[in-house]
Chain A
Amino acid sequence: MIAIVDYGMGNLFSIYNALVRVSGEPMIVTEPDFSEADGIVVPGVGSFGRCMEQLARFGEALRQELDEGKPVLGICIGMQVLFDESAESPGAQGLGWMPGKVVRLPSGMMVPQMGWNDLRITREIPLLDGISSGDRFYFVHSYHCRPDDRSVLAATVEYGTEVVAVVENDNLAATQFHPEKSGPRGLRILENFVRCVRC
């Protein structure tokens, strides 16, 4: 079973249906109890600050599962909250599981970045199995992650600057794009995640 953290920030049909499609047996989790889950998806909706407000009560339980080795996948804002802080919500503290901060996309570009951008894979990881550089994924975001430790990088896209698209550190991974809205290749990434959960 894969838990989708429902912290009350919007509809989770897309990610739920996408996980059903790749036989991921999703379950929506509204309380910080992941005992029945083999893997966890942290979706992202709304702003960094509001997301952290709602997500805070799940933080401890999530950290515990992570330490026990359960695979966790953050999506979009669900990736950004893994870092320390964001220019979107000054003063709000992120989960801080990946050192670094979240900054605004460069001026002069259309913000939000909205559309299909082509990936540049910088490191082969199981999550990106079957995915090649040049494959396109669907992005919708105004801020992007700047990890202090570049060894977590797995893929980037170009959008006026280098934008981090995928990070991974052991059983913690995240995508800035929406795999559940990225067509067959997005489903492939979710399928890879499900496979990681089962192995």
Chain B
Amino acid sequence: MLARRIIPCLDCDLGVPQGRVVKGIEFKQIRYAGIPWELAARYYEQGADEIVFLDITASHERRTTMTDVIRKTSEEVFVPLTVGGGISSLDAARTAFNAGADKITLNTAALLRPELISEISQAYGNQAVVVAIDAKRRCGHEEGKTVIQLLEGECWFECSIYGGRKFTGIDALAWARRAEELGAGEILLTSMDRDGTYDGFDIPLTDAVSRSLQIPVIASGGCAHPDHMYQVFRHTGASAALAASIFHFNEWTVEGCKSYLAERNIAVRI
């Protein structure tokens, strides 16, 4: 049986030499948590099943390229590497793969031009294409949308793009199914309602998406305690849990999270 995966996510600012992993503190301030490949190596040593790098460089100038980050990381880290943030063409994907990435994530670019999913999956296989969906809860019943019944009433989920700055009106569940048809190998599903709250994953959202797809779903947004991982694995079909701050703040190691899960009979790689 496959183990549920624990994936540390490193948000990278490449506007400084060597790049820096960025962590948010109380939603606003941004602090540097370390050099990307050093942090990746630390999480690898702790037992991370995979590493995700997301390029969130705000400045125009990238002093370090993602290629350097991937190259350096693959000298020390022997688990799959996923790279995303701003990949908007087959060429950009090729650059990431040639540097040593095993998978790339597509977000805005795929929503704007869905065929990009097919182009990359045909060239590199669908296991190499992760479609990232940033989903926002919308209360109430809306015609043509996949409506979910919650304790507090009905809702649907809307896709956002440009890092949550713009909403599309697109139904996240329908988009996830379409992405699968187009050749996505995995869905990285982030709840915008939970991201940064430390309240745990959005269980109904993750459950609904994982039940309607054949491909693996990576739950993301809101994880601050291994119990949040336990809840998402216990109550949804998520194949993996992605988290950032829980590890950056040194409150929990990957190893610590996995022991917590193993004690509660969740299959993990120890």
Contact = CB atoms under 8 A, between A and B. Distances in A.
Q: Do A and B bind each other?
A: yes
Interface of A: 10-11, 13-14, 17-18, 20-21, 46, 110-118, 136, 138, 140, 158-159, 180-184, 186-187
Nearest to A117: B2
26 contacts: A13-B71, A13-B74, A14-B74, A14-B78, A17-B74, A17-B75, A17-B78, A46-B125, A110-B215, A111-B214, A112-B125, A112-B127, A113-B2, A114-B186, A114-B216, A115-B216, A116-B269, A117-B2, A138-B79, A138-B80, A140-B127, A180-B78, A182-B78, A182-B79, A183-B47, A183-B78
B171 to A, nearest CB: 23
Contacts of A116: 2-3, 5, 49, 269
A115 B3 contact: yes
A23 to B, nearest CB: 14
Contacts of A20: 75
B117 to A, nearest CB: 16
Given A114-B216, A116-B3, A181 B79 contact: yes
A111 B185 CA distance: 9
A128 to B, nearest CB: 17
- Interface of A, helix, strand, loop or mixed by DSSP: mixed
A46 B128 CA distance: 11
B127 A114 contact: yes
Given A20-B75, A116-B2, A117-B1, 16 more contacts: A10-B97, A11-B98, A13-B100, A14-B102, A17-B78, A110-B214, A112-B126, A114-B185, A115-B5, A117-B2, A118-B1, A138-B79, A159-B2, A183-B47, A183-B79, A186-B78
Nearest to A137: B269
Interface string B1-27: 111010000000000000000000000
